[in-house]
Structure 1
Amino acid sequence: MTLSDTDLTHLRRCIELAREALDDGDEPFGSVLVSATGETLFEDRNHVAHGDATRHPEFEISRWAAMNLDAQERAAATVYTSGEHCPMCSASHGWVGLGRIVYVASSRQLSGWLREWGVGPSPVAPLAITDVVPAAIVDGPAPELEAEIRELHRRRFA
């Protein structure tokens, strides 16, 4: 699927949040939750640098949505994110019943970059979102933004 200009705008915001995370000493991931009407409802970036490896922005979006949106609003919302959800975040997305997911770079891409840079594997398998949540509606990657997010990840390990 070709991503729309609106999709790319939200994904650029995710990259800005990822850059903020990296500049603060954290892993470069950022995510935005957008309502069916196009309103940004919630955004966050990674907060794992202080020891809690569950503080992913996609997981925080799931928590926020569960507390603040009804089931219909969650299903109609879109999650934009700089990187494809890890299995933990995919599961939270599925359990909460969030709608479409759009990402810049896939788990497979990130895993390949890490191997290329000599970085050891993640402690969690790099599964596709639909391996965890088969009915998820997922769009990505975004080739036009790939170089920018790749560079943020490279800087993290430079």
Structure 2
Amino acid sequence: MDDVDLRHLRRCVELASEALEAGDEPFGSVLAAADGTALAEDRNRVALGDRTRHPEFELARWAVANMTPGERAAATVFTSGEHCPMCAAAHGWVGLGRIVYASSSEQLAAWLAELGVPAPPVRTLPIQEVVPGAVVEGPVPGLDDQVRDLHRRLHGTS
């Protein structure tokens, strides 16, 4: 993990904070080209009722519309939280490259249990259980604490 990776991950946490400020769940993602250039970014947009509006899913759609298969394979998806199974599958189906996340699904599940939040309707799984060949890095100490704080704020326990 280098300075460019950390810059993109910090932006993901900023996007997650923006999502929270907009009344949504705190998740944010950045899609970067092989040279580290940010190509697209998004934040969670599930508050209006469409639970598929995760930023990782939106970036997978964007990648198909705007990148060649080779460019997708060389790209990196940075995200504040490890992909859910839906987003991991989208990532695998469109052939995106490396995934770097600030906090893991395992951490999120523990935080939500600690906060007394009911489990989500879809089981959390590590990305590699959904996409066995995925190259994955995370969580990132320090940034994971920031993501945890966002979830505490979401659930009224900051």
TM-score if structure 2 supplies the norm length?
A: 0.97
Partner of 1:36: 34
Q: CA RMSD in A?
A: 0.5
Partner of 1:95: 93
Moved over 4 A (4+): none
Task: Give the whole-Å Cα distance in 2 for the aligned partners of 1:60 and 1:17.
Answer: 14
Partner of 1:26: 24
Within a 5 Å distance, the mapping from 1:13-92 to structure 2 comes to 13-92=11-90
Match of 1:130 among 128, 131, 149: 128
Q: Following TM superposition, by how much is the alpha carbon of 1:111 offset from its aligned partner in structure 2, in angstroms?
A: 0.3
Task: Give the whole-Å Cα distance in 2 for the aligned partners of 1:78 and 1:36.
Answer: 7
Structure 1 gap ranges (5+): none
Match of 2:154 among 129, 153, 156: 156
Q: Which secondary structure does the structure 1 equivalent of 2:91 belong to?
A: helix
Letter of the 2:11 partner, please give it. Answer: R
Q: Which secondary structure does the structure 2 equivalent of 1:50 belong to?
A: coil
Partner of 2:141: 143
Listed one character per residue, the Cα deviations across residues 12-41 of structure 1 (whole Å, up to 9, x for unaligned) are: 000000000000000000000000111110
User: How many corresponding residue pairs?
Assistant: 156
Q: Following TM superposition, by how much is the alpha carbon of 1:67 offset from its aligned partner in structure 2, in angstroms?
A: 0.7
Task: Give the whole-Å Cα distance in 1 for the aligned partners of 2:114 and 2:84.
Answer: 20
Q: Following TM superposition, by how much is the alpha carbon of 1:144 offset from its aligned partner in structure 2, in angstroms?
A: 2.2
Q: Percent identity?
A: 64
Q: Following TM superposition, by how much is the alpha carbon of 1:113 offset from its aligned partner in structure 2, in angstroms?
A: 0.2
Listed one character per residue, the Cα deviations across residues 40-74 of structure 1 (whole Å, up to 9, x for unaligned) are: 10000000000000000000000000111000000
Listed one character per residue, the Cα deviations across residues 100-138 of structure 1 (whole Å, up to 9, x for unaligned) are: 000000000000000000000011111000000000000
Structure 2 gap ranges (5+): none
Q: Which secondary structure does the structure 2 equivalent of 1:153 belong to?
A: helix
Q: Following TM superposition, by how much is the alpha carbon of 1:77 offset from its aligned partner in structure 2, in angstroms?
A: 0.3
Task: Give the whole-Å Cα distance in 2 for the aligned partners of 1:19 and 1:69.
Answer: 28
Partner of 1:8: 6
